[in-house]
Amino acid sequence: MLKLYAMFLTLIFLVELVAAIVGFVFRHEIKNSFKNNYEKALKQYNATGDYRSDAVDKIQNTLHCCGVTNFRDWEDTSYYSEKGFPKSCCKLEDCSPQRDADKVNNEGCFIKVMTIIESEMGVVAGISFGVACFQGI
């Protein structure tokens, strides 16, 4: 029974180690995938409550950003041609920006999201290392 427990513990440790290595090696692919999916979500944005539009609104509201690289990314979308910028791009809470670029945030969301992820990687690595060391005891 003790050998079986040790075997499972070793297996879990190896899976964690492989996941950490894969995450580190493929971090650029993860960035590209996020950027491509965010661009696709912008193109399909419709403000009717689907999960992609909700995610775009949540990111833009929380990080005070607009678009992928900047607010001009919205100009290529069908939503912009119909209604202008979404309210989640507003600098102030109660505004209706329409097509007024002065009322929206200028910075893009991709850079802000990547900055937050990279700044938190030390915490994630520290917790992972702590868990791995705890398993070794």
What CATH number is given to the structural domain containing 107?
Answer: 1.10.1450.10
* Residue 34: exposure state from Cβ atoms within 10 A (0-12, 13-18, ≥19): middle
Which is more confident, 66 or 102? 66
The pLDDT of residue 96: 75
Q: How confident is the model at residue 28 (pLDDT cuts 50, 70, 90)?
A: confident
Tens of pLDDT, residue by residue over 92-122, are 877 776 778 888 999 999 999 999 888 887 7
**Domain extent at residue 52:** 1-136
How many domains does the structure of the chain reveal? 1
Q: Give per-residue burial for 41-64: e unless 16+ CB within 10 Å, then b.
A: bbeebeeeeeebbeebbebbbebe
